[in-house]
Structure 1
Amino acid sequence: MTNVDLKKIEEAVKMILEAVGEDVDREGLLDTPKRVAKMYQEMFSGLHEDAKDYFKTVFHEDHEEFVLVKDIPFYSMCEHHLVPFYGKAHVAYIPQNGIVAGLSKLGRAVETIARRPQLQERITSSVADTIMEMLGAKGAYVVIEAEHMCMTMRGLKKPGAKTVTAVARGIYEENETMRKEVISFIQMS
């Protein structure tokens, strides 16, 4: 990963542990700064990637009905508290001129966008906007359901509470019937 200063992260983690009153020379914490630095390198890898790259290779198919990939698991870090939130994304789009993406590319886009300090609302919008821009889709509809550890571990302290965000672009913004159709498929088991 480029642009990640592992040593600086290690120093910062050591300072945090000292600030909360921990003994950073305790056996269980000796390698913690190094482990946290490597974890942050992985968890924030989306800062150094562009989800648009996944849509540079497309296929031409005689298909202009909706495509839906549901229950895409993702993990992210709340930019307000730097604690995880996780859940699943449902990504639908309607191809235009037969331009379709490989199905795995939708999941990769979600993962890349999620792997940075983030807000759930921004992930939802960014995925939809990327599909619209890169595929020239007639429409995109993205729904994200997530549990935020900042609501579970602190503050409100309500484990299991889910936040749902949705974004409609293109024809899904304009056509309520089409929006309801894709929602019904997302809700199917």
Structure 2
Amino acid sequence: MVYKSYEEFNLEVTDEVKSCFRKIIEGLGEDSLREGLQKTPERAAKAMMFLTQGYSQDAASIIKSAIFKEDYNEMVIVKDIELYSLCEHHMLPFFGKAHIAYIPDGQIVGLSKLPRVVDVFARRLQVQERLTHDILECINENLKPRGVAVVIEASHMCMMMRGVQKQNSVTTTSGFRGAFKNIETRNEFLKLISSDLG
């Protein structure tokens, strides 16, 4: 999987997307031709295409590209994975971190692939609940471990800047498959990441 840089996305911005941003600016009562806003439609279009690049990426192929046979059957945890996404309801950012664990069943995955899977699903219009589910299912279906656990904690700008305007609220979502349905295994995972959840 080749990740495109911001500059590569600059070449793919369509006139339609730029036009939409221009109409938004004008709809807000601003002059889209004034000096500070002349290039804003193009900049905003480029930024939006970068922030939604996950639609053109395949998370399953990322996992499958780095699976290795290994006789290891203890818990593997990658925690504090930074994530940035856009709420599909208001198109405002939400951001935080993901903690992922799996128990191998004869094969492991390159550790860098797990944060990349997070990025693929985060770089789409999302809700945190679906983001958690998508990451969980992708790992479960393609790595086929004995169990998978995903916990995401994030702050949502749609709650912080508008609506209830609660700047300190954090939303936590979780998902568990296989061996992590066992309460002892689940608690071991939660204990190992507990320093990050308090």
- Other structure's SS at 1:188 match: helix
What is the CA-CA distance between 1:5 and the residue it aligns to? 5.4
Structure 2 gaps of 5+ residues are: 1-8
What is the CA-CA distance between 1:138 and the residue it aligns to? 0.7
Deviating runs (4+, > 3 A) in structure 1?
none
What is the CA-CA distance between 1:157 and the residue it aligns to? 0.5
What is the CA-CA distance between 1:41 and the residue it aligns to? 1.0
Please tell me the root mean square deviation across aligned C-alpha atoms, in Å.
1.1
Question: In structure 2, what is the equivalent of residue 43 of structure 1?
Answer: 51
- Other structure's SS at 1:103 match: coil
Paired with 1:43 and 1:15, the residues of 2 have a C-alpha distance of 20
Amino acid at match of 1:154: R
Paired with 2:102 and 2:177, the residues of 1 have a C-alpha distance of 9
Any idea what the Cα deviations from partners look like across 1:161-181, whole Å, max 9, x if unmatched?
1000000111112x0000000
Does the 8 Å CA contact 2:13/2:42 hold for their aligned counterparts? Answer: no
Match for residue 144 of structure 1 among 145, 152, 157: 152
Question: In structure 1, what is the equivalent of residue 85 of structure 2?
Answer: 76
Paired with 2:40 and 2:159, the residues of 1 have a C-alpha distance of 25
Amino acid at match of 2:169: A
Does the 8 Å CA contact 1:6/1:38 hold for their aligned counterparts? Answer: no
Question: Aligned residues: percent identity?
Answer: 45
The within-5 A match list for 1:12-161 is: 12-56=20-64, 57-97=66-106, 99-161=107-169
Paired with 1:142 and 1:48, the residues of 2 have a C-alpha distance of 23
Match for residue 15 of structure 2 among 7, 25, 31: 7
- Other structure's SS at 2:47 match: helix
